[in-house]
């Protein structure tokens, strides 16, 4: 129960931060990404603040032997940058630059309304389903 309450509180704080910083505003994000046009550098401070908080959080977390609400830390084992990861990162960046939203802010934007967020999330879900279909088609049947 404590784990779920902690996750809920962390999610609410994260969502509130996205709204206050205007990361849910596609026009603000696109202005940040437009470094050769009418550039708005204010989101750089948001990202810098997030890096500082993350660095402190990791530093504190790694002083513990185990997490508060789990038996062990969940750390990804694969640290290799491969073609699949690179293509995914490029597609993510292209989508972010074209639309001004990424998954976290888009989900948060649903709470304040907006057809852009609904359209983005529908397209994201379609892309995820298409990936799953193509990924499964390329793998041998386990049976």
pLDDT of 90 > 80? The answer is yes
For the chain, helix (H) and strand (E) counts, in that order, are 6, 0
143 found inside a domain: no
Structural domain including 22 reads 2-137
Q: Is the pTM of the predicted complex or chain greater than 0.85?
A: no
In a domain, 109, yes or no: yes
- Banded pLDDT at 131 (limits 50, 70, 90): confident
CA angle 15, 10, 86 (to 5 degrees): 70
> CA nearest 105: which of 48, 20, 45, 7?
20
Counting the structural domains of the chain, the total is 1
Would you say residue 142 lies in a domain? no
Helix, strand, coil % (nearest 5) of the chain? 70, 0, 30
């Amino acid at each position: 129960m404590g784990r779920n309450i902690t996750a809920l509180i962390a999610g609410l704080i994260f969502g509130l931060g996205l709204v206050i910083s205007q990361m849910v505003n596609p026009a603000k994000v696109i202005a940040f990404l437009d470094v050769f046009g009418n550039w708005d550098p204010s989101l750089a401070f948001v990202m810098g603040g997030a890096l500082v908080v993350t660095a402190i959080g990791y530093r504190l977390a790694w002083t513990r032997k185990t997490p508060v609400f789990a038996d062990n830390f969940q750390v990804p084992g694969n640290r290799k940058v491969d073609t699949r990861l690179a293509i995914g990162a490029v597609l993510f960046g292209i989508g972010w630059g074209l639309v001004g939203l990424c998954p976290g802010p888009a989900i948060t934007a649903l709470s304040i309304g907006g057809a852009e967020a609904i359209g983005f999330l529908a397209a994201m879900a379609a892309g995820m389903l298409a990936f799953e279909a193509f990924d499964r088609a390329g793998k041998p049947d386990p049976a």
